[in-house]
């Protein structure tokens, strides 16, 4: 409550000795001790009375019920914690599937635009990857046939092959001619 150091207590003691006198000083300390003891006793009694009133009102039971209702276990958060712990420990590279042996390696190496060799995690994923590879092979084959059958360049091929010619600069309008300094 009060923060008195030794130097402050010494100053108070010297002032009390001078003002009160040496005869009445012990009586003052006794009465001061009794007063502080009574104050402490009253504070203890007050806190006990408040605790007893709380017990009678059932505050402890309500607090206990509130803690049990808001606990992580009753709300299902313990399952969430377990799931997050499993997720944090999960290593995606540990269970990663290896490339399948069905994809021809020479064809994949020669074609830079071909999709990467499929990795299977399950039968459904494997089927999707195989269907995608089959579609890609059909498109590639059709593209090659069209290129062999029609060697004429398309307008897109011509646009890519020929650089654009620069435009001639615009002529300024008559009202936009620069004015001579007067």
Report the pLDDT value the prediction gives residue 86, as an integer from 0 to 100. 83
0.85 surpassed by pTM: no
Q: Where are the domains of the chain?
A: 6-57, 97-149
Report the pLDDT value the prediction gives residue 156, as an integer from 0 to 100. 56
Quick one: angle between helices 25-57 and 6-20, nearest 10? 120
> Dihedral angle at the C-alpha atoms of 122, 128, 134, 136, nearest 10 degrees?
-120
Report the pLDDT value the prediction gives residue 66, as an integer from 0 to 100. 81
User: pLDDT 10s digit of each residue in the chain, 182 long?
Assistant: 577 889 998 998 899 889 988 898 889 889 989 999 999 999 999 999 998 888 887 777 888 888 877 777 767 777 788 888 887 887 767 765 555 555 454 444 444 444 444 454 688 888 888 999 999 999 998 888 888 876 655 555 555 555 566 666 777 666 555 555 54
Alpha carbons 34 and 81: distance in angstroms, whole number: 57
Q: In sequence order, what DSSP letters do the residues of 106-148 get, joined into one string?
A: HHHHH-TTSPPPPB-SSHHHHHHHHHHHHHHHHHHHHHHHHHH
């Amino acid at each position: 409550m009060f923060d008195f150091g030794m130097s402050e207590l010494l100053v108070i003691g010297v002032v009390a000795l001078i003002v009160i006198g040496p005869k009445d000083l012990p009586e003052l300390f006794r009465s001061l001790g009794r007063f502080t003891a009574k104050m402490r006793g009253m504070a203890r009694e007050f806190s006990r009375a408040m605790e007893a009133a709380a017990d009678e009102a059932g505050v402890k039971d309500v607090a206990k019920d509130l803690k049990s209702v808001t606990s992580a276990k009753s709300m299902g958060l313990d399952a969430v914690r377990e799931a997050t712990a499993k997720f944090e420990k999960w290593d995606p590279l540990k269970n990663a599937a290896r490339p399948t042996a069905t994809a021809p390696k020479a064809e994949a190496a020669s074609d830079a635009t071909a999709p990467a060799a499929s990795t299977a995690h399950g039968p459904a994923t494997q089927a999707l990857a195989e269907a995608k590879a089959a579609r890609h092979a059909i498109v590639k084959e059709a593209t090659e046939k069209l290129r062999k059958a029609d060697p004429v360049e398309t307008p897109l091929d011509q646009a890519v092959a020929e650089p654009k010619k620069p435009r001639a600069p615009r002529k300024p309008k008559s009202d936009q001619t620069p004015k001579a300094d007067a």
